[in-house]
């Protein structure tokens, strides 16, 4: 499957169905404060296991950071 992840082309060599949660685990995104968008649509944390990533999708996974 070919997708764009954070503006970089990615190829996932597995033909199974991938959820946002699966993709985050594959790429080791473990930070607690994340913003996830698939094709420009904001994905709530409660839907990470329900939203499927498809061929050609544009996925953004951003870490939220605060400072002082």
27 falls within a domain? yes
Q: Residue 18: its pLDDT value, please?
A: 95
28 falls within a domain? yes
Q: Residue 68: its pLDDT value, please?
A: 63
Domains of the chain: total: 1
**Ranges of residues in the chain whose predicted pLDDT is under 70:** 68
The reported pTM is 0.89
59 falls within a domain? yes
Closest-CA residue to 54 (of 24, 16, 9): 16
68 falls within a domain? no
For residue 39, the domain's CATH number is 3.10.20.30
Question: Which domain, by its residues, includes 39?
Answer: 2-63
Instruction: Please state, in angstroms and rounded to a whole number, the distance separating the CA atoms of residues 68 and 54.
Output: 39
Given a contact cutoff of 8 angstroms between Cβ atoms, the answer to whether 35 and 48 are in contact is no
Distances (CA, A) of 5 to 42, 43, 56, 63: 14, 15, 10, 13
């Amino acid at each position: 499957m070919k997708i764009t992840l954070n503006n970089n082309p990615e190829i996932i060599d597995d033909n199974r169905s991938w959820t946002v949660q699966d993709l985050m685990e594959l790429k080791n995104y473990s930070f607690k404060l994340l913003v996830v968008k698939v094709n420009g649509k904001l994905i709530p944390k409660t839907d990470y296991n329900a939203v499927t990533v498809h061929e050609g999708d544009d996925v953004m996974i951003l870490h939220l950071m605060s400072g002082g």
